[in-house]
Amino acid sequence: MFGPPARRFQRVGHLPHMKRILITGAAGQIGTELSAALRTRYEPETVLATDIRNPAEWAGAYHAEELDSLDTRAVRGAVERFGATEIFHLAAVLSAAAEQDPARAYRINMGTLLNVLQVAAETGCRVFTPSSIAVFGPETPSDPAPQSTLQRPTTMYGVTKVAGELLCDYYHTRFGVDARGLRFPGLVSYTAPAGGGTTDYAVDIFRCALTEGRYTCFLKPDTRMDMLYMPDAIRAIVELMEAPSEALVHRNAFNVTGMHFTPAELADAIRVHMPDFEIVYEPDPLRQAIADSWPARLDDSEAFEQWGWRAEYGLPDMVADMFRGLRSQLAREGSGSARR
């Protein structure tokens, strides 16, 4: 089994045509780990991490800039100044947060992606942007949801992700932009907190287990959801972006998955490491309705067939690695309350 993403990739060093990568939303859950992995895989100075938040708060010593990706001129300026050849566009409002202010979520999710694709069309950049299991709705076959199937989401986040998939396809066929993407299920990680998602319980539960010994779950105990551990997600992004174009039938919006479990099953897996761990359930109607509208599992066989994708972490490995990583992180943060 591989370690954390930053250590998992061999450096490929100088490529014949050197990649220069600009990341938006770099301070978020995926962005924090993807920036580290790309700096390891390529030369660190070829990665520019950007976020709407001030880099002084999140970037450490790395090359980073504040960037509002709703501002087309600012995106174009950053791409041109840095000489970017690829944009990894991660800035987005997630599912539960989007339901609090749907119009804002539409503006941000669609506006930033349109800007990135437009600048990519003008500058010749390649693009990666994540899609989500949220593109599916209650009418989609649930276990598993096929790669090509009915997409009638009932959330604003899902609406923007379906439209985003179509927009990527449009910019590819109309302007030749090499826009690729993955449909992620819930992502589990410990480096940066998740925020505003429906699957966030599977992240928060570990920190609460270690600091308080208990967790109050906002979903019902038998809500089965699809999940992927972050090291697998980061590897999927890198492998897809490095896959030869000729191998790809879909290019964009590949289903990928790692494991699927319920909150009760996750609590049992946590008890293997912490026998006294307690969980109580106080379902939040909004997030429960979102979870119930998504498939229980994605069929990722097309990703395997077209570019060799295969997840490495299942539930027990993921739980063991989360505890290992989070314990060290809490020790670094100086949280004396972490339980053994």
Give me the residues that bind ligand AKB (CB under 6 A), please: 94-95, 132-134, 157, 184-187, 197-199
Beta carbon of residue 195, minimum distance to ligand AKB (angstroms, whole number): 10
CB-count burial class (<10 Å; 0-12, 13-18, 19+) for 24: buried
Residue number, 26 or 203, with CB nearest to ligand AKB: 203
Residue number, 41 or 183, with CB nearest to ligand AKB: 183
Residue number, 55 or 263, with CB nearest to ligand AKB: 263
Active site residue 157: yes
Beta carbon of residue 329, minimum distance to ligand AKB (angstroms, whole number): 20
Is the preceding omega at residue 44 within 30 degrees of 0, hence cis? Answer: no
Rounded Cα–Cα distance for residues 207 and 24 (Å): 26
Beta carbon of residue 66, minimum distance to ligand AKB (angstroms, whole number): 25
Residue number, 29 or 115, with CB nearest to ligand AKB: 29
Beta carbon of residue 163, minimum distance to ligand AKB (angstroms, whole number): 15
Beta carbon of residue 199, minimum distance to ligand AKB (angstroms, whole number): 4
Residue number, 50 or 132, with CB nearest to ligand AKB: 132
Residue number, 48 or 228, with CB nearest to ligand AKB: 228
Beta carbon of residue 262, minimum distance to ligand AKB (angstroms, whole number): 16
* 42, 157, 201, 313: the active-site residue: 157
Active site residues: 157
